[in-house]
């Protein structure tokens, strides 16, 4: 039996944010810790300089990819809409990397876990569209977090979701219903081609998706399972499943001793 000499490498595309007069490439601490502790993998931050990076080079070193949440939204030009609220932040540099990376990762059979903004990126990468302001859509609830409260309250469980029976997510968490947090203003409108819904909020909004024909683990969720992941068995199960998929890919591609 081949001995694995290293942990699987999980690539995490960075947000681009101004700090003073300069742009910085950043990833939230909680995502890095969740990959390292809950998935048992090595997190590697990838700068969002898509015009200077070859996707093939990234996939050559990737055992998995995590697309994180962010305060920024996917630019609506990617789903043929105008900007609804110019005051909300955008991150075109991240879009330029992640939207190409999603399709390439699926084709290369690299495991993919996508969270919040990442969930929306997956939908857009497959030709889907987004509600830019879920709270303004008739019949849908306000899924944004409560402002001006502690972060623990913002990330507290906000509502339940119904998981598709016998779906991938239901099998991972061992349930057909679970409680999740909710911190998003955008949400899935038209589901992308080849995507399958795995869970729904009580108002019918899609909360989890997978790529139907993906040969490797591919799961995208609208909530934040990285938050205190070691204290939530269902959140932990998601990261454990992702980590297992990354280790499986590593075993398949690691050179023999």
pLDDT tens track, the chain, 257 positions: 456 689 999 999 999 999 999 999 999 999 999 999 999 999 999 999 999 999 999 999 999 999 999 999 999 999 999 999 999 999 999 999 999 999 999 999 999 999 999 999 999 999 999 999 999 999 999 999 999 999 999 999 999 999 999 999 999 999 999 999 999 999 999 999 999 999 999 999 999 999 999 999 999 999 999 999 999 999 999 999 999 999 999 998 876 55
Q: Angle, to 10 degrees, between the axis of helix 117-125 and the axis of helix 92-107?
A: 60
CA-based nearest residue to 178, from 167, 194, 191, 189: 167
Residue 29 tokens, joined:
């601490």
Catalytic residue among 78, 116, 121, 145: 116
Catalytic residue among 78, 143, 226, 246: 226
> Could you tell me how far CA 91 lies from the centroid of its own chain?
16
Please list, in sequence order, all residues whose beta carbon lies within 8 angstroms of the beta carbon of residue 155, skipping any fewer than 6 positions away.
Answer: 145, 181, 183, 224, 227, 228
| CA distance linking residue 36 with residue 33, whole number of Å | 5
| CA distance linking residue 250 with residue 69, whole number of Å | 25
pTM of the model: 0.96
| CA distance linking residue 246 with residue 112, whole number of Å | 9
Strand pairing of 15-19 and 22-26? Answer: antiparallel
93-122 b/e with 16+ CB inside 10 Å = b? bbbbbbbebbebbbebbbbbbbbbbbbbbb
CA-based nearest residue to 226, from 77, 60, 62, 30: 30
Residues listed for the chain = 257
Distances (CA, A) of 82 to 78, 86, 91, 149, 212: 10, 10, 15, 32, 29
Residue 80 tokens, joined:
């043929």
Catalytic residue among 145, 184, 224, 246: 224
In the residue annotation, 226 being an active-site residue is answered as: yes
Residue 256: the pLDDT is 54
Q: What would you measure as the largest C-alpha separation in the chain, in angstroms?
A: 60
């Amino acid at each position: 039996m081949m001995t694995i000499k290293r942990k699987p490498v999980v690539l995490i595309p960075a947000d681009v944010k101004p700090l003073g007069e300069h742009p910085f490439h950043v990833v939230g601490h909680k995502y890095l810790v969740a990959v390292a502790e809950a998935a048992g993998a090595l997190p590697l931050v990838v700068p969002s300089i898509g015009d200077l990076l070859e996707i093939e080079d990234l996939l050559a070193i990737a055992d998995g990819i995590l697309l994180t949440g962010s305060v920024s939204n996917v630019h609506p030009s990617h789903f043929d809409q105008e900007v609804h609220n110019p005051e909300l932040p955008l991150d075109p540099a991240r879009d330029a990397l992640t939207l190409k990376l999603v399709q390439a990762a699926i084709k290369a059979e690299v495991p993919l876990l996508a969270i919040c903004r990442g969930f929306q990126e997956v939908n857009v990468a497959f030709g889907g569209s987004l509600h830019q302001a879920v709270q303004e859509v008739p019949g849908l609830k306000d899924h944004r977090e409560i402002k001006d409260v502690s972060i623990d309250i913002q990330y507290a469980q906000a509502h339940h979701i119904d998981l598709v029976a016998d779906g991938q997510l239901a099998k991972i968490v061992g349930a057909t219903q679970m409680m999740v947090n909710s911190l998003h203003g955008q949400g899935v409108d038209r589901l992308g081609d080849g995507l399958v819904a795995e869970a729904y909020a009580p108002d019918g909004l899609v909360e989890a998706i997978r790529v139907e024909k993906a040969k490797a683990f591919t799961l995208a969720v609208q909530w934040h399972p990285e938050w205190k992941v070691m204290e939530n068995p269902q959140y932990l199960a998601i990261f454990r499943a992702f980590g297992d998929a990354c280790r499986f890919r590593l075993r398949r591609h690691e050179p023999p001793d």
